[in-house]
A and B are shown apart, each in its own frame.
Chain A
Amino acid sequence: MRTKAETPPDAYPGPVDRRATVFGRLAISAVIVAAAFGVLLLGFQWLRAQTPTDNAQKALLSMAAILWGVGGIALIYVVLNYVVESFPPRLMRAVQPYIFVGPAMAVLAWYLALPTVRTFWISLHDRTGESFVGLANYVAVFTQRIMFEAFRNNLLWILFGASLTVVFGLAIAVLADRSRFENIAKSLIFMPMAISMVGAGVIWNFIYEVRDANSPQIGLLNAIVVALGGEPQAWTALVQPWNNLFLIAVMIWMQTGFAMVIFSAAIKGIPDELLEAARVDGANEFQVFFRIMLPYIGGTIITVLTTVVIFALKIFDVVMVMTGGQFGTHVIATQFYRQAFTNQNKGYASAIAIVLLLTVIPVMIYNLRHFSEEEAF
């Protein structure tokens, strides 16, 4: 047994002493962090108190605000990191990642997670948000004819839009890979990606434009049809549901470029020797494509497909700009918009939003799982 005389307390602090040092350090840390936040707060108050009179002053003040903002964030990082590095090693390793990921998580929670929860809460209330109605809004979502139409249309968007985007993207990527004009072809296909959805909607409205049969057709499609001896058609107002396909064409036109670029990169990643081995083994070009290339880039196909499916589920701009949801072209997102802003029915609109979220989530989870498995990107 050891006696006190043999172990001088100064040299070997007991557990109580050690805890005291940690607490001391934490106290100092808290003071430093508080000081840093204090500096930021004072800066904010000072900026707010300024009353610039001319443009030069305004410019100076905005510069100062930018510096203060960026510098302030940096200061918080530095201070927090400093504090965490003074922790005991195990605690430090556990906490340090959150210093850097924490702010992003906080922002996401505030702007994304919290509104989601709030939307769900609102969806359980009536149009004014005052009285609780339980699941009545959801019952309405799944029983109203207009919503069935929206669900059906979204299904069409996925079935035709997403799959054709992938098929065209893949076909163009494969064919361009063998062409001498690869870069020009790919640039042309990719170009629509640079146009906003609203812009694309306007452009395609012109293409589908219909005039009286007796006057000249200014819409490209009708001009062609008439030139070939046909009758001009109101494409986007045609007998439904096929007018939806003319809207879906816009998405395919825009998204094929995205799919093509990703597929093209994946195809270039296939080792030449692999394809040569298949050819020597007796495969023709179709067999090489379907039995070697497709399985090889299978992961990429799934990634692109899920991305485009999510895109199709959320589709809004094209429909809004081109038909506004008329002629049976409503989709979930346009129905949400109509309920929220035209009908002012917040509860019902929120229920639609939640349903849309729930349909997207499984695709997203699958996509994320796939990411982590394949370590694509």
Chain B
Amino acid sequence: MASVTYEHVYKRFGDVVAVNDLNIHIEDKEFLVFVGPSGCGKTTSLRLLAGLEEISEGNIYIGDRLVNDVPPKDRDIAMVFQSYALYPHMSVYDNMAFGLKLRKVPKAEIDRRVHEAATILGIEHLLDRKPKQLSGGQRQRVAVGRAIVREPQVFLFDEPLSNLDAKLRVQTRAELSKLHKRLATTFIYVTHDQVEAMTMATRIAVMKDGVLQQVDTPQMLYDHPANVFVAGFIGSPSMNFFDATLVERDGKLEVNSEGFRLEVPEPKATEWRPHAGGEVIFGIRPEHIHHKEYAPPGILGVPLQATVDVIELMGNEIFLYCLTKDNRSFIARVDPRVRAQPGDEVELLVNMENAHIFDPKTEAALAG
């Protein structure tokens, strides 16, 4: 149970900067998820905290303790690896007890903790087995169990669900969330899957090319992405982007693109007006584009004409791959009752309340 602080942390591999000036303060009992595409430095950040990589520059604190030069074994952390890294020659029990034995915890105490963790995870009947005799899901539980029995200050997870099948992944996701509440300890979790990040995290740290892009709660990240990258990374299918200009016409603000013209209603207009006259990247999520007939009431809907290109039926909704007049494609998530064929003209409503504009040069968000 401790906070974790990264202070101007750099990690360089030769000329490659894997982690570039990372600054985060992770509160005690937080569930922080590092998320980003592969090679973004999220795993390296975790390994720096674990002590498995050396910091090139900067400081890392666990609680108030500077751990830059503390070896992994003395950092009081536990880590669940992507491959689970179970000791193949030890039984499940011994795998879980290993860390405690090294710390010379009394036998009775080891026994109590292992059985308690095994009960929590539902692996009591597997304690005598060898890792080879376990299924992928069971191994994953043992790996988590090995971390739990240590009762560490911080739990580290390095893509622990990526080797599980889709169904098990969803189930384990929920269990990890439950575990976090139950243990009330700091969890730091690395994944490339934004769904995992959104569902489990109390806060998400989005990284790209070694640079931290934004740290915030899932909802804030979704509602107020700091830049184009975060906006595109969070949410699936990802946000639609258009190059556009913001134009003031007859006292009304408009988003002008070659393929469409959208009026910006109040109160968004007041918010965006300072950027009027300039070029912007206009961003709108597929779920905020509705079919005219099935649009929910009370939205700031602005009409948009488009041609249907491809239709993906998801059962509970439809993904419409549409083309604007200048043949730019975008996706709309519409009501499953919509009947459309490829080539059809459709009338869509864009909910401007949830639209975003970004600076085309810096790609940073303009206005919330």
The answer to whether A and B assemble together is yes
B146 interfacial contact with A, CB 8 Å: yes
Report yes or no: B87 in contact with A274, Cβ–Cβ below 8 A: yes
B78, B82, B102 — most chain A CB neighbours (10 Å): B102
Measured CB to CB, the nearest residue on chain A to B79 is: A280
Q: How far is the CB of B200 from chain A (nearest CB, A)?
A: 21
B32 interface residue per 8 A CB criterion: no
Residues of chain B with a CB closer than 8 A to A298's CB: 89
Chain A residues with CB under 8 A of B85:
271, 273-274, 276-277
Interface residues on A, range: 10 to 19
For chain A, residues 261 to 308, give those with C-beta under 8 angstroms from any C-beta of chain B: 271, 273-274, 276-284, 287, 291-292, 295-296, 298
Q: How far apart are the CA atoms of A271 and B75 in the complex, in Å?
A: 22
CA distance A283 to B72 in the complex (A): 9
Residues of chain A with a CB closer than 8 A to B102's CB: 281-283, 287
Out of A280, A283, A287, name the residue touching B50 (CB < 8 Å). Answer: A280
B81 & A277 in contact (Cβ 8 Å cutoff): yes
Say which residue of B72, B87, B88, B103 sits within 8 Å of A279 (CB atoms).
B72
Q: Which chain A residues border B86 with CB–CB below 8 Å?
A: 277
Chain B neighbourhood of A291, CB < 8 A = 98
Closest A-chain residue to B143, C-beta based? Answer: A277
B52 touches A278 (CB 8 A): no
In the complex, how many angstroms separate the beta carbon of A225 from the nearest chain B beta carbon? 43
Question: How many chain B residues touch the partner (CB < 8 A)?
Answer: 25
Q: Nearest-CB distance from B134 to chain A (Å)?
A: 16
- Give min CB distance, B132 to chain A, whole Å: 13
B150: which A residues are within 8 A, CB to CB? 281-282
Contact A282 B88 (CB under 8 A): no
Q: Are A278 and B87 in contact (CB under 8 A)?
A: yes
Contact of B107 with A by CB under 8 A: no
| Dominant secondary structure at the A interface | helix
Given contacts A292-B87, A295-B89, is CB(A277)–CB(B103) below 8 Å? no
User: Residue on A with the closest CB to B47?
Assistant: A276
Contact (Cβ within 8 A) B89 A279 = no
Min CB distance A66 to B, Å, is: 50
Cβ–Cβ contact A296 & B88, under 8 A: yes
> Does B37 reach chain A (CB closer than 8 Å)?
no
Residues of A within 8 A of B156 (CB): 280
Contacts of A292 in B (CB 8 A): 87
**A295–B98 Cα gap in the complex (Å)?**
14
Given contacts A287-B102, A296-B88, contact A281 B83 (CB under 8 A): no
CB pair B52–A281 under 8 Å, yes or no, is no
B81 touches A282 (CB 8 A): no
Contact mask B18-52 → A, CB, 8 Å, 1/0? 00000000000000000000000000000000111
Q: In the bound complex, do residue A276 and residue B52 qualify as a contact, i.e. CB atoms below 8 Å apart?
A: yes
Q: Are A296 and B89 interface neighbours, CB within 8 A?
A: yes
Are A282 and B103 in contact, with the CB atoms below 8 A? yes
Residue of A nearest to B87 (CB): A292
Evaluate contact between B99 and A282: CB separation under 8 angstroms.
Answer: yes
Are A281 and B73 touching (Cβ within 8 A)? yes
Nearest to A276 among chain B residues (CB) is B52
* CB-based contact A280/B72 at 8 Å: yes
Q: Which of the residues A281, A284, A296 comes within 8 Å of B98, measured between beta carbons? A: A281
Q: Is B306 an interface residue (CB 8 A)?
A: no
Report B15 CB to chain A, min CB distance, Å: 19
Q: Tell me which of A274, A279, A296 contacts B73 (CB under 8 A).
A: A279
Residues of B within 8 A of A282 (CB): 73, 99, 102-103, 150
**Chain B positions 48 through 82: 1 when the CB is less than 8 Å from some CB of chain A, otherwise 0:** 00111000000000000000000111010111011
Kindly state the separation between the CA atoms of A313 and B82 in the bound complex, as whole angstroms: 47
How far, in whole Å, are A295 and B89 apart by their CA atoms in the complex?
7
> What's the nearest-Cβ distance from chain B to residue A283, in Å?
6
**Interface residue ranges, A against B (CB under 8 Å):** 271, 273-274, 276-284, 287, 291-292, 295-296, 298
Known: A271-B85, A277-B146, A279-B72; 18 extra A-B contacts, CB below 8 A, are: A273-B82, A274-B85, A276-B81, A277-B79, A277-B81, A277-B86, A279-B52, A279-B73, A280-B73, A281-B99, A281-B102, A282-B150, A283-B73, A283-B98, A283-B102, A291-B98, A292-B87, A295-B89
Offer 15 A-B interface pairs, CB within 8 angstroms, sorted by A: A271-B85, A273-B85, A276-B52, A276-B79, A276-B81, A277-B85, A279-B72, A280-B52, A280-B75, A280-B77, A281-B99, A281-B146, A282-B103, A283-B98, A284-B71
Task: List 6 tightest A-B contacts by C-beta distance, closest first.
Answer: A281-B99, A277-B85, A273-B85, A295-B89, A282-B102, A282-B73
